[in-house]
Each structure stands twice: as structure tokens, then as C-alpha cells.
Amino acid sequence: MIKRLVEFARLLRQSGVRVSMAETLDAAEVLRHAQVTERPAFKASLRATLVKTREDIPAFDEAFERFFLVQVGEDGEELDDPCGETEGPPDGQPDLGDGQDDGDQEIRRLQDEQGEAVAGDGEGDPADDDETGELEGELERMLARVQVGEQASDAVTEPGTQPNQQAEDVDLYQELPPGDVENLYEAVEELARNLVTRKSLRFRKSRHGRVDIKKTIQRSFRTGNLPFHIIYRHRKIKKNELVVLCDVSGSVWEVARFFIKLVHEMQNQFSRARSFLFVDRINEVTDEFDRRPFEEIVENMKDDHALNFFGLSDFGRAFYQFHDEQLLSLSRDTVLVILGDARTNWFDPQDWVLGEIQGRVHQTIWLNPEPIQYWDTDDSVMSRYSPHCDHVLECRNLAQLQEIGELILRA
């Protein structure tokens, strides 16, 4: 039984669920204690011990169905269905093929080791008066059906079910199929949650102020010079305001949507998060992002004459307008993030405007979704703008997005 469990745990690991040894032991413990006579309860027991995040539940369900519910069919034929995505039925798994016998021996060995009563002679023959024996017999019967399933289990070694690890390398600067976009959104959400975890550390430290001797003594005058109330010095960390300025022309927005998603997920880490989109003029969309998905907003913008979606990007003009309209709303707590490829279509870059803006804000960060070797080719004027930015970064995959997230939270 333990062996089956270990193999099930291995199958889970193959499908990207992290299962530790301790958890497998827990599951074994659970099956020993619990009266697991029905399939739903059996499944729920395993799930409670082996799966520890919501994201892993579908993978668990799938693996469970495959591992435990496979009928003892004639041969592999029925199995092709549940594991349709695999490279076909695996051949040459002789050691697993007769796993049933191994399993029985294993159980006997384990039971002997633990000094427990050996439950009957084998499967389907539960010890009469022993509750545990009965349970194990039931499990045996359940697990007996696994034999064929196991063969199938090996076939799932390779499917790409580890989205998070792979997602890191996906080039965001391209058109992605909708399914991938969904996965990436989820990856970005998780990224944001992780970033927020780290960020909270900083707040924590600042809260533990030292004793404010002066104020404590002042206060003690009220209580006959006895310092009844100890007053702590609070070093306050102010949250930054985040302003995102995003070029939505061309394929920049393929990347922009992930970045904006990230910002959105982290928004309560800032005192305020504002977003502007531009092509040749800027357009504030802060409230829009609360309400609607990015795709829909972009779709709507195509009809928005003010934005001139199909026009040519004009960074200089957009910056000038931003300078004109928003300069006064910027402050020393503002972190300005610009997302764009710096391709000005040969218009005047007006980089001095960015310089003035930089003078007003806490930090300016430029994210360029183009590969670094294309910067400053043709009409890209990255090097004109970069002197006015505190950081200029390439932004085209999740690993970079994570670095950027950290940078912004630290800013």
C-alpha cells in the first residue's frame, strides 16, 4: 500500500505538484486512521494531505482519476483516452507490470516491520475483526485496479505540466495564443503574490521603532515621574505613488498587458497607482483597469479618436503633453515607469521634457520590450532618453518582470 502511495506521489510530482516525503507519510497515516471506505472520502483524504495549493488541485484530480480509477481493462486500449496527450502507450515496463505482487510483498514486509498483524493472505481477504485490516483490504481492492493505471502513469512523464517553470522563459514580445496568455496571467498573479510577501518584510522592520526617551520622560511627568507609558519612535515608510506611462502602439502592448497586470495585482503596495496609455497623445486609464480586462480596453481604444490608436507613436509629443498636464501631480514619492520601444518614427524625441519630469519624481524607470541589440537602431532613440532615467531595463519575459517588480517595490 505504501508503495502504491509512493508511486502516486511520484506521479503527482511528474505532473508538477510538489509532494514531499513528509506529506506522503501523512497520507499513509491518514489512510491508516481514517475509515476510508468510499471513493470520495478516499480522494478527499489524499487531497488534504498531498495537495497544498489551489493551483495543484486540477493536476491532482487528473492524476487521481488516472491512477486510481482506471478500469481493469483488457489492455491498454481504454487507457489511451485518459492519457490522450501522451506519446502513446509505453512499452517495456516489466517491473511495473507485475507490480501487484511486489506491492503485496511490500505490504507484508512493512507490516512485519511495524509489528502489526498481517492482514490476511492478500488482496480481497481482509482480516475479520481488525478494523485496520478491513481498511487495508478495501484499499487493496481499490489499488488492485491500479495495475494497469501504473503503466499509464509512466506515460505522463513528459507532458508540459509545469507551467510556472516554463513560463519564465516565454518571450512575451510576440503574439501569444489565448491559452498561453491565460497561463501567463496566472503566472504573473503568482509572481505578484510572491513579490508582495517579500515587500511586507520592509514594512515590518520599520514598525519596530526604538523607545523615544524624550517623549517617554515628558509623558512620565503626568504620572509622578514614573514612566508608565513607554512611547516608541515610529519611523514611517511612506508608500510610493506609481505612475505607468505606456506606449500601446505596435506590439509593445503584448508585453504591456502583463506589466499592467502585475502592477494591478500589487496596487495596494502603493499609495496610488495611475496608468496612462499613449500613442501620440496620452490618455489616463487608471479607473478603466479596475473594471475591465486589458484586452477590452485596448479594443475600445481603437475607436477612441482622442488616442489616435492607429497613428504613429510620438514619444516627444506624448511626454510634452504629460509634462504639461500632469507635472504638478507628480511628487517626490512618485515612481514613474515608462513602457515603450523608444521608436519615435523620426519625430523629435524632446528628451529634455523627460529630464524635467525626472527632476520632479522620485525615480524614472524605462522598460523596453525590444531585445537590447535592437535599441538605437533605425528610429529607436533609447540612448537619448536613457540619461534621464534611473533605470533602463529590457522587459520581455517573466524573469525580467520579476526583477522589475522587485525594483519598483524597492524604489
Partner 1 sequence: MTAFTSAQDVIQRFEAQQYICGPDLATPVYLMERLEKPLLVEGPPGVGKTEIAKMLAGALDRRLIRLQCYEGLDESKALYEWEYTKQLLYTQMLKDRIGELLNSTDTLGNAVEALNREDSAFFSRNFLLPRPLLEAILSPEPVVLLVDEIDRSDDEFESFLLEVLSDFQVSIPELGTLTAAQRPLVVLTSNANRTLSEALRRRCLYLYINYPSLEQEVRIVLRKTPGIDEELANQVVRFVQKIRTLNMRKPPSIAETIDWALALVVLNAQHLSRDILSSTLNVLMKDREDIERIMRDGYHDQAAG
Q: Which is nearer to partner 1, 141 or 193 (CB)?
A: 193
Which residues share a beta bridge with 241?
272, 334
Which residues share a beta bridge with 367?
339, 393
Q: Least distance (Å) from partner 1 to the CB of residue 52? A: 4
29 binds partner 1 (CB under 8 A): yes
Q: Which of 105, 213, 228, 233 touches partner 1 (CB under 8 A)?
A: 228
Place of cell 498587458: 257
Q: Which is nearer to partner 1, 141 or 234 (CB)?
A: 234
Q: How far apart are the first and last CA of the chain?
A: 54
Gap between the Cα atoms of 393 and 408, Å rounded: 12
Q: Are 273 and 408 in contact (CB under 8 A)?
A: no
407 binds partner 1 (CB under 8 A): no
Q: Least distance (Å) from partner 1 to the CB of residue 211? A: 12
Q: Which of 54, 210, 236, 305 touches partner 1 (CB under 8 A)?
A: 54
165 binds partner 1 (CB under 8 A): no
218 binds partner 1 (CB under 8 A): no
Q: Which of 112, 158, 290, 324 touches partner 1 (CB under 8 A)?
A: 290
Q: Least distance (Å) from partner 1 to the CB of residue 21? A: 10
Q: Which of 6, 10, 23, 312 touches partner 1 (CB under 8 A)?
A: 23
Please state, in angstroms and as integers, the Cα–Cα distance from residue 218 to each residue in 173, 215, 224, 225, 226, following that order: 61, 5, 11, 9, 10
57 binds partner 1 (CB under 8 A): yes
H-type alpha helices, 69-130: 94-97, 99-113
Helix or strand run (H / E) with residue 275: strand 272-278
For the chain, what is the radius of gyration of the CA atoms?
A: 30
**Going by DSSP bridges, is the β-strand pair 272-278/282-284 parallel, antiparallel, or unpaired?**
antiparallel
Q: Which of 30, 110, 231, 407 touches partner 1 (CB under 8 A)?
A: 30
Please give the single-letter amino acid code of residue 277. L
226 binds partner 1 (CB under 8 A): yes
Q: Which of 3, 26, 62, 284 touches partner 1 (CB under 8 A)?
A: 26
For 370, phi then psi, to 5°, come to -85, 150
Place of cell 489616463: 284
- Contacts with partner 1 by CB under 8 A: the residue count is 41
Gap between the Cα atoms of 408 and 335, Å rounded: 8
18 binds partner 1 (CB under 8 A): yes
Q: Which is nearer to partner 1, 39 or 141 (CB)?
A: 39
Q: Rule CB under 8 A: which residues touch partner 1?
A: 18, 20, 22-23, 26, 29-30, 33-35, 38, 40-41, 44-45, 47-49, 51-54, 57, 190, 193-194, 196-197, 200-201, 203-204, 207-208, 226-230, 290-291
